[in-house]
Structure 1
Amino acid sequence: MKKILLFGLWLGACLPALAQTTPKPPITWKDVTNWKALSAFGGTQLSPDGQWMAYVLMSVAEGDADLIIQKTSDTTQYKYPIGAATFVPMSFSDDSRFFAFKVFPTAKEKKAAAKSPGKPLLEKAFLIELAGNKKTEFERVTSFAFNGEQSSHLALLLSPATPSAGPTAPKGRDLLLYDLGSGKTQNIGNISEMSFNKKGDWLALTIDANEKAGNGLQVRNMNTGVTTIIDSDKARYQSLNWTEKGDGLAALKGVKDDKYKTDVMSVVGVKNFATKPELTEYNPKKDSLNFPKGMKISPNRRPYWTEDLSRLFFGIHKEDLVKKDTKGTAKADTAKKATPAPKPVSDVEKLAKIKADTSIKSLDDLQKALAKIKTDSAKVAQRGGNVPNLSGATDDLDKPEVTVWNWQDKRLQSRQQVTEMQDKQFSFLAMYNGKKFTRLTDSTLLNINPAPKALYAIGLEDAAYELDASLDGQNYADVYVVDLKTGARTKVFEKYYLSGYASTPTPSQDGTKFLYAKDGHYYVYDIASKQSLNLTEKIPSSFVDTEDDHNVKKPMVPMLGWSTDSKYVLLRDLWDIWKLSVDGKEVVNLTKNGRQQKIRYTSRYKLDPEEKGINLKQPLYVRAYGEFTKKSGIALIEVDKKGNLIPGVKSLLWEDANIGNLSKAKKAAVYTFTRESFTDPTDFFVSKSEKLTDSKQVTKNTPDFNKFSWSSGVQLVDYVSDKGDTLQGALFLPANYTKGKKYPTIIYYYEKLSQTLNVYTNPSFSGTGWNPNVYTSNGYAVFIPDIVYKLNDPGMSAVWCVLPAVKAALKTGVIDETKMGIHGHSWGGYQTSFLITQTNMFKAAAAGAPLTDMVSMYNLIYKNSGTSNGQIFEASQGRLVAPWDNWEAYFRNSPLHHVKNIQTPLLLLHNDADGAVDFTQGIEYYTAIRRLKKPVALVQYKGENHGLAKLVNRKDYAIRMMEFFDYHLKGKPAPDWWQKGIDRLDMEDHLEKRIVFDK
């Protein structure tokens, strides 16, 4: 008995230790379905006083979200379920006493509504009084806003009580004005738009009622509660726009005219709020002097005042007249509905009609019928008509559905189709100064960018070079300066080379100068004197991005910005930040140690969202990144007692982690930043010190994280490419890694990605099927090497970089060289498709949406944009010259050209609606491999684009890809869809077995 008791005591003492050593399970795809994590889309907010942080835990799949309001100084926390949200409008009041947010229908409610559509699902808004967690709920809210700096009211615009009866129906709805002090609510009816100015002492309202009764523009004084009617008419008012200071308001006023498809617009502006609101209106119908014929004010551009309230800017576009019939009656006004055009008859339908014709009993009869069709068509063509409708539904003649592509088209017809709606909504910029209308842009200068202070605007006009750019991807434009008081324009540069957005002219804060790039140098141009000064020619550094391996001329490292006083610019080379005076007399390296210590100072943190330029009298916070250590952090450039920046940086945070997103509370010295690593989810930290000391974690990301096993850590792998480039790869260890044991490994790549060593990836169903954290949790190692490119050898560059990288990674002892798989999507899919033609070292490969034939791909259309792939090949990712200048390069780097070498089993993903890499690229490769009887499966999701969008498809492919690798690299049973062919008759049953947890 004593022995039994002793054994029981020993067992009880050991149980906690045994429990602690029991490994956690790997995450499964079923677990991913229920995963919640911090929203990446505007999902966090810090209160103006820094005492509260709000954040959203969003479902990565299809579940409901939670909103958390966390006090930054203690453990006080409020949690609210907010339904199935993708983006959550939320806001603190400016005095930090209240917090408002929207609440959405749940995922269950949305599914039920989708099955039986009828009553629309409405959204709510919650108002929280933070001191006591008092909640006030508002039904059917579409939008809300606190009244700016005053924080005395919350305005809520409600959904219509009954659904709108069409585009011309009144848009007026109820507006609730909730007094935050008294808790009393006022209902204001027939409001279509509402907007507070910045101070919150004025509320602008547009009225849109039935039969336009009482329609108008009104402003409410939030201090007195008095509402003033600024304008009233049988019109529709829209596009409210306050000046930044809140001392001016602009809007559009539309009046129906049966001659036009849309309302005829005029521009209204209001100012002098301090005394009595004063109305300015410009109506081209009443004041047509100088207004171009055939034009009208556009509803598609929001009007605005200049800062000094001297001019109104707005858009104009071509008239949209209602077409008239032969009797001169507007078609839109005819009471009788026009007979719909007959549906075009397909070849299949024509054939069916011929088959159904009982008079056709022999081949001769068929030939006669076809000849008759041909003769009838020819007769119609001779008299200028169209081919007759063969369906027999009507005697009307069909119009040809034809698009003519001409070699002189500046934009491909496919591009014009993609931008059709954008083109229809395009407007030219114009202005009105209270007396005179001035047109600022036209067909010879389409777009201008007004500089600060609205003295000048900078315009880039590429019409003369648009055709060439659509061919080879090299972009040029003529640069103009436009005087915004007179409308006079001056061409400053002709055929200015745009090597990227960094070379786009950038105006100073006083609007009198702009920075531009030319031949590898930065220049400043003084508008008044028309003089340029080279700012960088004497600096012992280069501001050219020499690591950009695209086929462009001297691409520049982007600037950081202009100083507030417009006397300095901050520039970056690849390592350091430089302060340059625009008179060329002062050059200072502010960071100093970047190049020496291989630290890249990549950006400056903008702590004041409303800043105008960089205040060089204040300390500068900059992000630091160790190019070869992958460490990151935040550094400070301090100022001396005289308010001058002190060259040299003080490191505040510097860790083996990914640190960033520094921000500051609006009204307090409270700072937040994010920290993450591959094995630690992204979380926000708060500090009340400007040196970021004593930081405290305030968010709790991924509530289920600790339930599962994750990667045991990361390693950096250094290697040298076959062409002598010093590169690195990121090696992610599998969960429960044991040193000395080798593991199945997935090699993944997309150009340079070793910088992701410390980047956390949420378990999710991505559009490509790939998730490194899910794979490492399930016992795989993951290796991500860098690829750099040589011109005319994009495929061979992968060979020259990836194979040496893998050989170097094998020396770590982590990777089982007999169980290596490779995967990439899009450009990475191309690398995968090419690598398996050059080596047999990989046991399995998965390629998503790959380019496979560079010759045919060059001449295809990038359907998502409507542009030619040729320009992408010659000036962007393709890194090739035109094929007729080097056919050998195209064949040498085409996976299809080497398809006979393939021994590696391949899983292909290619969707039939892929608008980036045409579906035919996947089909070409699949059919070639199949012809050679090599193991390959093509997974095609109907109607999907370049990446998978539908959740059910993302789930399906994620499971398939892991099954594929589990079979080839782990020895698990082969899935039926791989092991056996799929008979179409069995497809329904096959799909039923796939999504095992979707029901």
Structure 2
Amino acid sequence: MNNYFKIFVTVCSVFSIAQAQEKPPLTMEAFDSWKSIGYNAISKSGKYVYYTVNAQEGDAYTELKDQNNNLLLHVARGVSPKLSKDERFLVNTVKPFYKETRDAKIKKKKPNEMPQDSLVFFDIQTKQSTKLGPIKSWKAAREIDSYIAFSQELEVKGKADTTKADTSITKAPAKKTSAKKELVVILYNLRTKDTLQFWKAENFYFDDNEKYFVYNIKGAEKDSTKTPGLYVYNLQDKKVKKIYDGKATFQNITFSDASDKLAFVVDTSSAKALLKMPSIYQYDFKAESAKELISKNTAGIPNNWYIPTSTNLSFSASGNRLFFGIAPIPKVKDTTLVEFEHAKVDIWHWQDELLMTQQLASLPLLKNKTYRAVYHFAENKLVPLANLEFENVSLTENADEEWGLTSYTSLENKIARQWSYGTRSDIYVVSLNNGNRQLVRRDFLGNTALSPKATHVLLFDKENQNWYAYNISTKTTACLTCNLNVTFGNEDNDSPALPQSYGIAGWSNDHKGVYLYDKYDLWYVDFDGKTPKNITQSAGRNNKIRFRLISFSSNKPRSMTTYLDPKKVVLLSSFNENDKQNGIFKLEIAKNKAPKEIIQSQHVYKRISADENQTIFTYSRENYQESTNLFVSKDFVKATQLTDINPQQKQYNWGTAELVRWKTPKGYDAEGILYKPENFDPNKKYPIIAYFYEVLSDGLYNYHEPAPTPSRLMIPYFVSNGYLVFAPDIRYEIGHPGKSAEEYINSGMRYLAKNSWVDSTKMGIQGQSWGGYQVTHLITSTNMYAAAWAGAPVVNMTSAYGGIRWQTGMSRQFQYEKTQSRLGATLWEKPELYLENSPLFNMDKVTTPVAIMHNDNDGAVPWYQGIEMFTALRRLQKPVWLLNYNGDGHNLMERQNRKDIQRRQAQFFDHFLKGKPAADWIKKGVPAVNKGIDWGFNITD
């Protein structure tokens, strides 16, 4: 090879490498191509994995694979997959094309004209797919065996003879009539592909064991036949039986676990009736028909109480008890009054349990509130368990034990919820046999739990940060943690509220004790408190690793309670506070050894599931540079990647995430995350934006999917487009949240500004909600920032203190006295703290251009806070902009609004931090007459 050719090849190679490295930055148009993992599961045998991949704008899909990553099925637009219990059939809802639905919305089609879902089921044995639909809805048993059912509209070709009960399971007769469509329910056998059509059926249900199919026929208003009623179709003997005859509304169709009992609510009231008086019916599958079990006249129902239509029904595991809700008979509106002649007024009373705003916000819940009662089948006895004083009763998972857990809260303490965080109550257990109550603890502030066999009540006392166990049979209490040298409440709590517990990990399988978390480790304690044991051998605390139990979901009924068997191996998730790595450890409790590391890496592991024997695992893995994907493995070390949902990320200039540590002016150790562009050049100067809330550094290895922002800073977009982004942690001094933000954020930015590659003249800040408050405080205390963006900020703690969180109707007082705002006192106790921490009173000091987003339907921070800030700065002739996305909330929910604010954020920071020309909305705004015509995005002279 001659020298000229060598030089030519070398130059070309260097040019090719340079070209390859010059990736374009992320664009907002690219967001739509990003996908995310939706539902995912592994079969009980471990042979199959199935999952859904969702698109931001576009069509989802479902895939079925074997454990060797062989693709068995791809369902375009498939969602909500469900696998049969013998792992032969996979059933999928198939959504219409995204574009088709969008076009229909543009054309303003009526609901019944909109594109409809369909169904696809795949036979894994024969590898054949069958499509069914279009459908309105579909159902199946908890575990599919052979049947599914769906409703769809079919053309009525004739009028069915409805004089016999069993004719409701025939195909529509062939007599020709008009091409009218009617909703029909179709029972479909996946194995034989046989169908049964249930005409005039309204609602339909399977029992969990796929023994029975229940449906009701509504019947026309003037139908005089006996067709209307509730029917049971026996899926084994293929026979139908009418169990309730007549027109009625049927609700809460509920089966016992063994499928030997059925309960339901029957309402025969007129549709126009202002007060409906339903009854509860029960059907024994050996009987000919259902019988009324409970009505408002049943012995045990208090006077002037009844069974509302909102009642919930549930059987105990044995089927020997039926739980339901009762309520006082409400007053009804006098329809003879002329509405326009009477006032519409809300009357607030100082002794109301709830503020009027809370009452109005939760009106549907209050109207439908019920109080738990139980019916004992063996004794034919009804026992009310709750009432107006003892409002709620918690049961064990099986609900077959003698005791439930309840509490009494005085009116004084209920009213105090307005400003307190946590409510003092008297704790009781209540006998399910006779309704008698037994006092556990008076004036208690903390958390409670009923043991799975209802032998003990666990209590975490917030005031002394210890766990206690109350023995129901002996009426004695033992302290479980008093003699241990660690606290079981939040060690990092920096708010005036008492610390919360780290929680319960699970229960011993012999029902003699409980497993508890401290900050790092797991402990086992007998209910008598005599044998506390650190089962992770203090390995968590010694190594600053937080261990948490990985529990695997089960499709079995009543399987939500977590039990630990010391003879079995358990898996723990881990988080290392020193390097922020995550991992998975193995713990063999019986061996009395520390957890053994399986894997620890610079990733985050989520969605961990396992086969029935916990020998094959699926999980997702991610970090800032790696998009979230699914893996399958037998040991978490050698893993097979199942998905690669965002390969397009490699085409763009992405970024890196690194941990930064520094000392604050007061000498505190501080941490934060610094995000840099993938093509970072230390010889250049970069603008930098600080984004913050409270503590973010634990998310060092989290993936950030590029998507239009709900109002926060979309980190990947700005990093890809040549910004540094800094996410500092903030630790708070009670009473001084604003100064705490200064202590950590400003010092962190100054620390980074010492680097030659940081342009200290082009530093910006962005925060939403509590972060937005901190933005507004910082721009009143320093002029170091060239641009600021505040989303839904509080600027005046004196007016916000008496404000309302409109979504719930709650007073905001608790937030300032006890929680996030961290002032720790009332406005009249320490007004100086409210003034110190209210940026509004220092707006004259602002020199930073600031954009505010605050929406008129904000349910958390009253939007007048944004208005107070805007009008103050406007009066002072400071550069300020206010964005109000009409009808949207605290965080933007509408995608079109998210796209809009994403674009405006980019234009705002590009102008003030990069010197790009200002868009029209920045230069001159958008007047109301141009709303919806001109959005102000253009850049004009």
TM-score normalised by the chain length of structure 2: 0.90
Q: Which residue of 2 aligns with 1:739?
A: 682
> 511, 521, 544: which is aligned to 1:598?
544
2:242 is aligned with 1:237: no
C-alpha separation between the residues in 1 aligned to 2:915 and 2:44?
Answer: 56
SS of the aligned residue for 1:968 comes to: helix
Which residue in the other structure is 1:614 paired with? 563
Deviates more, 1:22-31 or 1:142-151: 142-151
State the Cα deviation string for residues 805-856 of structure 1 (Å, max 9, x = none).
Answer: 2233335555322221100000000000001111122111100110001111
Counterpart pick for 1:563 among 505, 508, 511 = 508
After superposition, residues 732-771 of structure 1 pair within 5 angstroms as 732-771=675-714
Equivalent of residue 519 in structure 2, options 574, 593, 604 = 574
Which of 245, 265, 268 is the equivalent residue of 1:252?
265
Tell whether 2:62 aligns with 1:67.
yes
Opposite residue 233 of structure 1, the aligned amino acid is: G
State the partner residue of 1:486. 434
**Percent pairwise identity:** 29
Distance in 2 separating the partners of 1:803 and 1:602 = 34
For 1:247 and 1:16, locate their aligned partners in 2 and report how far apart those are by CA, in whole Å.
76
Query: Residues 263-299 of structure 1: CA distance to partner in whole angstroms, max 9, x if unpaired?
Result: 432222345x5x67895631426x5333233332122
Shift of 1:491: 3.2
The one-character-per-residue Cα deviations of 1:451-478 (angstroms, maximum 9, x if unpaired) are 2434211113334311112133342122
Q: How many residues align?
A: 898
Please point out which of 113, 117, 123 is paired with 1:120. Answer: 113
Identify the match of residue 281 of structure 1 among 285, 292, 295: 292
Deviations 1:431-458 (CA, angstroms, capped at 9, x unpaired): 2224222222111111111224342111
Separation in structure 1 between the aligned mates of residue 22 and residue 343 of structure 2, nearest angstrom: 69
Partner SS, residue 873 of structure 2: helix
C-alpha offsets along residues 165-210 of structure 1, whole Å, 9 cap, x if unaligned?
Answer: xxxxx99952222222222222233333333333323333334333
Q: Give 1:776 shift.
A: 1.1
For 1:111, the equivalent position in structure 2 comes to 102
Matched, 1:92 2:102: no
Q: Which residue of 1 aligns with 2:236?
A: 223
Question: Within 1, Cα distance between the matches of 2:812 and 2:543?
Answer: 40
Residue 550 (structure 1) shift: 2.0
Q: Which residue of 1 aligns with 2:419?
A: 471
SS in 2 for 1:704: helix
Q: Paired residue for 1:383?
A: none
In 1, the alpha carbon distance for the partners of 2:155 and 2:586 equals 54
- Unaligned ranges ≥5, structure 2: 157-167, 169-180
> CA separation in 2, counterparts of 1:172 and 1:619?
56
- Over 3 Å counting, the alpha-carbon distance change for 1:943 and 1:554 in structure 2 is closer
Summarize deviations over 1:714-739 as a string: whole Å, max 9, x none: 21111233444423101111131123
**Aligned position for 1:583:** 528
Q: 2:199 aligns with which of 162, 178, 189?
A: 189
Q: Which of residues 151, 154, 164 is equivalent to 1:157? A: 151
Contact 2:767 2:790 in 1 (8 A): yes
Work out whether residues 769 and 957 of structure 1, in 8 Å CA contact, stay in contact via their aligned partners in 2: no
1:709–1:527 CA distance, 2 compared to 1 (3 A): same
What is the RMSD computed on CA atoms of the aligned residues?
A: 2.9
Residue 551 in structure 1 maps to residue 546 in structure 2: no
In 2: Cα distance, 1:828 partner to 1:603 partner: 32
Alignment match, 1:450: 395
Partners of 1:78 and 1:816 in 2: how far apart?
Answer: 52
Counterpart amino acid of residue 22 in structure 2:
P
Counterpart-to-counterpart distance in 2, 1:129 and 1:710: 42
Asked if structure 1 preserves the Cα contact closer than 8 Å seen for 2:153 and 2:182, the reply is no
SS in 2 for 1:136: strand
Alpha-carbon spacing, 1:202–1:948, altered in 2? closer, same or farther (3 Å): same
**Which letter maps to 1:912?**
D
Distance 1:51-1:450 versus aligned 2 partners, 3 A rule: same
- Is the alpha carbon distance of 1:685 and 1:316 closer, same or farther for their aligned partners in structure 2, counting shifts above 3 Å? same
User: Cα distance 1:653–1:210, how it changes in 2: closer, same or farther (>3 A)?
Assistant: farther
Q: Does 1:51 align with 2:1?
A: no
Q: 1:981 to 1:303 in 2, by over 3 A?
A: closer
SS state at 2:564 partner: coil
Q: Deviations over 1:384-436 (max 9, x none)?
A: xxxxxxxxxxxxxx322322222222211111110111100111112222422
Q: Match of 1:177?
A: 187
User: For 1:584 and 1:491, how far apart are their aligned partners in 2?
Assistant: 21
Equivalent residues of 1:49, 1:668 under 8 A apart = no
Q: For the Cα contact (< 8 Å) 1:150–1:201, is it kept in 2?
A: no
Question: How far is the alpha carbon of 1:973 from its aligned partner?
Answer: 1.3
Amino acid corresponding to residue 409 of structure 1 in structure 2: D
Find out whether 1:313 has 2:326 as its counterpart.
no
- 1:934, distance to aligned residue in structure 2 (A): 1.6
Aligned: 1:459 with 2:458: no
Contact in 1 for aligned 2:551/2:562 (Cα 8 Å) = no
- CA drift of 1:150 comes to 6.2
Cα contact 2:427–2:444 (8 A) shared by 1? yes
- What amino acid sits opposite 1:455 in the alignment? E
> In structure 2, what is the Cα distance between the partners aligned to 1:221 and 1:651?
52
Provide the C-alpha distance between the structure 2 equivalents of 1:3 and 1:539, rounded to a whole number of angstroms: 80
Cα contact 2:61–2:74 (8 A) shared by 1: yes
Residue of structure 2 in register with 1:378 after alignment: none
1:699 corresponds to: 643
How far apart are 1:780 and its partner, in Å?
1.2
> Which residue in 1 is equivalent to 2:35?
37
Structure 1: runs of 5+ lacking an equivalent: 163-169, 326-330, 332-337, 343-397
User: Compared with structure 1, are the counterparts of its residues 568 and 206 closer, same or farther at alpha carbon in structure 2 (3 Å cutoff)?
Assistant: farther
Which residue type is aligned with residue 240 of structure 2? T
Question: Cα 1:24–1:244, aligned 2, differ >3 Å: closer, same or farther?
Answer: farther
2:176 match: none
**Residue 123 of structure 2: aligned partner:** 129
The structural deviation recorded for 1:619 is 1.6
Tell whether 2:923 aligns with 1:923.
no
Counterpart in 2 of 1:370?
none
Distance in 1 between residues matched to 2:87 and 2:883, nearest whole Å: 52
Is 1:300 the counterpart of 2:307? The answer is: no
Q: CA deviation at 1:146?
A: 4.1
In structure 1, which of residues 630, 635, 641 is the aligned counterpart of residue 585 of structure 2?
A: 635
Question: Does the CA contact (< 8 Å) of 1:956 and 1:994 recur in 2?
Answer: no
TM-aligned CA deviation for residue 110 of structure 1: 2.5
User: What is the TM-score normalised by the length of structure 1?
Assistant: 0.85
Task: Name the SS for the 1:105 alignment partner.
Answer: coil
Instruction: Please state how far the C-alpha of 1:70 moved relative to its aligned partner.
Output: 3.1
